[in-house]
C-alpha cells in the first residue's frame, strides 16, 4: 500500500515538474521529493521510478520481495482481489465460512467482475484453504465460551441494569470472603437488619454418550462416535457461598435422625437427579421445581437461621410460570363461558381512570372472575366471565375503551397483539425444548420467531386483550415460584437473558463434566464398581452415568464454589462499569481480584495492546 501511495503522489508531482521550464530532470526531482516526504532516501526514490515504469507496462505493481522469493504471482497479490475476498468473508456469519464456498465465489463472482483472464485466473479449493490461512483463519474445534449474541439488546441491557442495581443494593448485607483464605467476613448490620445469602439454582443434563471433543490420534485414525448424546441424566441443584452445595453434612444428618419423624427435614440433599425420557421419569417442569424449592427453603432456614435468602433463577418461561388461577389474560376468552380457566378474585386497581359524571366508581372494589352460583342465567352459574364482562365491571376503563375504539366497537384482540402472542408461544416452545435437552428438535421458524424484537401495539387501548393485560392487578401478577419464596420471607430474582456467566452454578456443571482434577479418581471409582476394562470416564453406558454423576458433583468442595462466586462477582462489577460482553470476558480473565475488575480505561488500554 506504501508503494501504491508513493507512485500515485509521484505521478501528480511529475506532471507539475514536467510543465515547469526550469526543471530539467522532472522524474528524478519528483521521486526524490516524494521519498524525502515519506522519510526515505535516494534508494526509495529509484524504487518509485521503477515501480512507475512497471505499472505503465504491466498494469500492476511488481511483486514484493516475499512474493518474488516464492517465484510466482498469486491472484491474492492483486489489491482488488484481496479487497473483494475480505469483503466477502466479512459478510459471512461466524462459523459458516468454508474453502469450497470461497473458491466458488472467487471463480464465479470476483474474477468475472474484475475481468481477469488467463491460465491462472481461477483457483481450486486447496488454494482457497491457503488464502484463508494467509488472511488469519484457522480450522479448529469450536469451544463453548461466553455467548455474546443478545447481550447488548436494549431489553436485555435494561434487565441487566435492573438486576445489577438490585444486587448492588443488597451487597452490603452479604458476607464477604477473604482474598487469600476465602474465609467469611461477616457484614456490618444495622438495627433490625438480617444477613442475606445468595442462592443460585439451575438445571443441567448429562448425556451418557458425552465424551471429549478433541483427542490424540495417529494419521488416518478416526474414533467411531455414537449419534446424539444418548439417554440423559437431569440434575437440579442449588449452591451458595456459605456451604457450597445446599445439603446437610453427615453430622447434621445424624442429628436429624435423632429427632421425632414429624420434626425431621424430608430432604437432606437438594441435588435432585432424575432420568427423563419415554417410559421413564417425566421431564423436569415447574411443579417439580416448586416441590424442590419447598425442600430447599427448609434446608436453607435450617443451615442459615435468621438469615434471608436471595434465590436467583434463570429467566425462562418455565421458571416464570404463573399459578393455575393466576390473573393471566392469555387464559381468558373474550366472552363468558367456554374453555377458559377460573381465575382468582382480585381488587380493581385504584389508578384506573376516574368515572364519568353520574357513573359508579368501581375502583378499589373486590372483583370475582367467576359468575356467582345464583346468577339468573343458569348457563353462566360458576362460569368464568371472560374479558368483556370483566372490563364492563370496571366501568371507567370500559367507558374509556369505548371512546377510543372505532365506531364504539372494541376489538377482542388486534393484529399486533396476536403477532406478539405468536412470538411468546415460540419462545415458550424453545424454552421447553431446552429444558428437556432437545434443542436440536426445535423448528428453525420457532428459533427465529423467539429471537425477534418485541412487537409493540400502536396504542395501549387497541383492544380488550391489551387493555386488560395492562391493568395493575394483571400486569403485576407474580410468578408462582416468586410468590411462594416471598411468602416465606425471602427474595426471588431472575437473571437477565443470555447471561449464563452470572450464574456460578453453571461453572459447577462445567467442573463436573470437564475438570481434569477428578478424572483419575473417577477411573478408580469405575474400576472398583464395575468389571475391569472401563478405562475412560464416560463409556456410553447408562448404568455408569448414574454412578458417575453424583460422584462428580460431590468432588466439588465449598472452597471451589466460592471461587465460582468470586468470578461471577467480577462479571457483575465489569458490567456495572459499562463494559460490553467482549470487554467483560477479557477483564474477568485479566483481573483476579475477589469481587472487582480494573478501571474501564485500563481494561480498554490492555485490550488495544493485544
For residue 532, the model assigns a pLDDT of 29
- Which residue bears the cell 498494469? 59
For residue 577, the model assigns a pLDDT of 92
For residue 128, the model assigns a pLDDT of 86
DSSP 141-185: --------TTTT-HHHHHHHHHHHHHHHHHHTTBPEE-TTT--EE
> Roughly what angle, to the nearest 10 degrees, separates helices 395-404 and 386-393?
110
Instruction: Find residue 77's DSSP bridge partners.
Output: none
CA distance 115 to 96: 28
In degrees, rounded to 5, the angle at the alpha carbon of residue 349 between the alpha carbons of residues 408 and 315 is 100
- Which residue bears the cell 491472484? 75
b/e map 410-446, b = 16+ CB within 10 Å: bbebbebbeebeebeebbbbbbbbbbbbeeeebeeeb
CA-closest candidate to residue 200, choices 567, 582, 587: 567
Low-confidence ranges of the chain (pLDDT < 70): 1, 63-73, 94-95, 117-120, 140-149, 211-229, 422-457, 515-540, 593-594, 610
For residue range 434-483, what is the model confidence (pLDDT) as tens digits?
Answer: 555 555 556 666 666 666 666 666 788 888 999 999 999 999 999 999 99
For residue 449, the model assigns a pLDDT of 61
Cα first-last separation, the chain = 24
Q: What are the angstrom distances between the C-alpha of 477 and each of 343, 488, 538?
A: 12, 17, 45
CA distance 119 to 104: 17
Q: What are phi and psi of 197, to 5 degrees?
A: -130, 125
Calculate the CA 605 to chain-centre distance. Answer: 27
Decide: 210 and 350 in contact? Cβ < 8 Å.
no
For residue 68, the model assigns a pLDDT of 45
Q: Count of residues for the chain?
A: 610
CA-closest candidate to residue 201, choices 492, 518, 590, 521: 492
Q: Where are the beta strands (DSSP E) in 244-299?
A: 244-245, 272-274
For residue 398, the model assigns a pLDDT of 93
Decide: 56 and 71 in contact? Cβ < 8 Å.
no
For residue 334, the model assigns a pLDDT of 92
For residue 527, the model assigns a pLDDT of 38
For residue 516, the model assigns a pLDDT of 44
Decide: 196 and 174 in contact? Cβ < 8 Å.
yes
Q: What are the angstrom distances between the C-alpha of 482 and each of 200, 323, 380?
A: 14, 11, 33
For residue range 555-570, what is the model confidence (pLDDT) as tens digits?
Answer: 889 999 999 999 999 9
Sign of CA dihedral 354, 356, 360, 362: negative
CA distance 10 to 568: 58
pTM: 0.66
CA-closest candidate to residue 413, choices 358, 357, 455, 365: 455
For residue 228, the model assigns a pLDDT of 66
Amino acid at each position: 500500500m506504501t508503494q501504491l501511495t508513493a507512485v500515485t503522489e509521484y505521478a501528480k508531482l511529475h506532471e507539475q515538474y514536467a510543465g515547469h521550464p526550469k526543471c530539467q530532470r522532472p522524474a528524478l526531482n519528483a521521486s526524490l521529493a516524494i521519498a524525502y516526504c515519506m522519510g526515505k532516501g535516494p534508494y526509495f526514490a529509484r524504487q518509485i521510478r521503477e515501480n512507475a515504469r512497471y505499472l505503465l507496462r504491466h498494469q500492476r505493481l511488481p511483486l514484493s520481495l516475499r512474493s518474488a522469493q516464492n517465484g510466482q504471482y498469486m491472484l491474492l497479490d492483486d489489491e482488488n482481489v484481496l479487497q473483494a475476498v475480505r469483503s466477502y468473508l466479512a459478510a459471512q456469519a461466524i462459523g459458516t465460512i468454508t474453502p469450497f464456498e470461497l473458491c466458488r465465489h472467487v471463480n464465479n463472482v470476483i474474477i468475472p467482475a474484475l475481468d481477469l483472464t488467463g491460465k491462472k485466473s481461477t483457483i481450486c479449493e486447496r488454494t482457497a484453504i491457503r488464502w484463508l490461512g494467509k488472511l488469519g483463519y484457522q480450522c479448529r474445534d469450536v469451544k463453548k465460551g461466553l455467548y455474546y449474541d443478545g447481550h447488548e439488546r436494549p431489553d436485555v441491557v435494561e434487565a441487566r441494569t435492573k438486576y445489577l442495581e438490585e444486587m448492588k443494593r443488597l451487597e452490603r448485607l452479604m458476607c464477604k470472603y477473604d482474598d487469600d483464605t476465602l474465609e467469611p467476613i461477616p457484614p456490618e448490620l444495622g438495627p433490625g437488619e438480617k444477613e442475606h445469602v445468595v442462592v443460585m439454582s439451575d438445571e443441567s443434563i448429562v448425556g451418557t454418550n458425552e465424551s471429549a471433543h478433541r483427542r490424540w490420534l495417529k494419521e488416518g485414525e478416526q474414533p467411531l462416535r455414537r449419534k446424539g448424546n444418548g439417554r440423559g441424566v437431569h440434575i437440579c441443584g442449588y449452591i451458595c457461598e456459605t456451604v457450597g452445595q445446599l445439603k446437610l453434612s453427615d453430622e447434621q444428618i445424624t442429628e436429624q435422625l435423632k429427632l421425632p419423624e414429624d420434626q425431621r427435614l424430608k430432604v437432606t440433599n437438594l441435588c435432585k437427579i432424575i432420568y427423563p425420557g419415554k417410559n421413564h421419569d417425566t421431564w423436569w417442569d415447574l411443579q417439580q421445581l416448586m416441590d424442590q424449592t419447598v425442600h430447599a427453603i427448609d434446608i436453607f432456614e435450617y443451615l442459615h437461621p435468621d438469615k434471608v435468602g436471595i434465590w436467583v433463577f434463570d429467566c425462562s418461561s418455565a421458571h416464570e410460570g404463573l399459578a393455575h388461577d393466576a390473573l393471566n389474560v392469555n387464559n381468558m376468552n373474550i366472552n363468558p363461558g367456554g374453555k377458559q380457566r377460573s381465575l382468582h378474585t382480585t381488587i380493581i386497581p385504584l389508578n384506573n381512570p376516574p368515572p364519568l359524571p353520574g357513573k359508579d366508581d368501581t375502583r378499589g372494589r373486590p372483583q370475582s372472575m367467576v359468575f356467582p352460583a345464583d346468577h339468573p342465567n343458569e348457563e353462566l352459574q360458576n362460569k368464568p366471565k371472560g374479558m368483556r364482562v370483566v372490563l364492563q365491571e370496571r366501568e371507567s376503563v370500559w367507558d374509556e375503551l369505548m371512546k377510543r375504539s372505532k365506531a364504539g366497537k372494541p376489538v377482542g384482540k388486534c393484529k399486533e397483539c396476536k403477532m406478539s402472542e405468536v412470538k411468546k408461544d415460540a419462545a415458550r416452545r424453545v424454552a421447553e425444548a431446552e429444558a428437556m435437552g432437545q434443542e436440536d428438535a426445535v423448528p428453525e421458524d420457532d428459533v427465529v420467531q423467539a429471537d425477534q424484537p418485541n412487537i409493540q401495539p400502536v396504542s395501549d387501548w387497541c383492544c380488550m386483550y391489551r387493555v386488560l393485560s395492562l391493568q395493575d392487578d394483571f400486569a403485576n401478577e407474580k410468578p408462582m415460584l416468586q410468590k411462594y419464596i416471598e411468602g416465606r420471607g425471602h427474595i426471588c430474582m431472575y437473571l437477565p437473558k443470555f447471561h449464563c456467566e452470572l450464574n456460578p452454578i453453571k461453572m459447577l456443571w462445567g467442573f463436573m463434566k470437564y475438570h481434569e482434577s477428578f478424572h483419575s479418581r473417577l477411573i478408580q471409582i469405575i474400576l472398583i464398581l464395575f468389571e475391569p476394562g472401563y478405562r475412560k470416564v464416560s463409556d456410553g453406558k447408562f448404568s455408569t452415568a448414574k454412578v458417575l454423576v453424583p460422584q462428580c458433583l460431590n468432588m466439588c468442595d465449598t472452597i471451589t464454589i466460592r471461587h465460582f462466586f468470586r468470578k461471577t462477582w467480577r462479571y457483575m462489577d465489569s458490567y456495572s462499569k459499562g463494559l460490553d460482553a467482549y470487554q467483560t470476558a477479557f477483564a474477568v480473565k485479566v483481573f483476579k481480584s475477589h469481587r472487582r475488575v480494573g478501571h474501564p480505561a485500563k481494561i480498554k488500554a490492555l485490550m488495544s495492546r493485544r
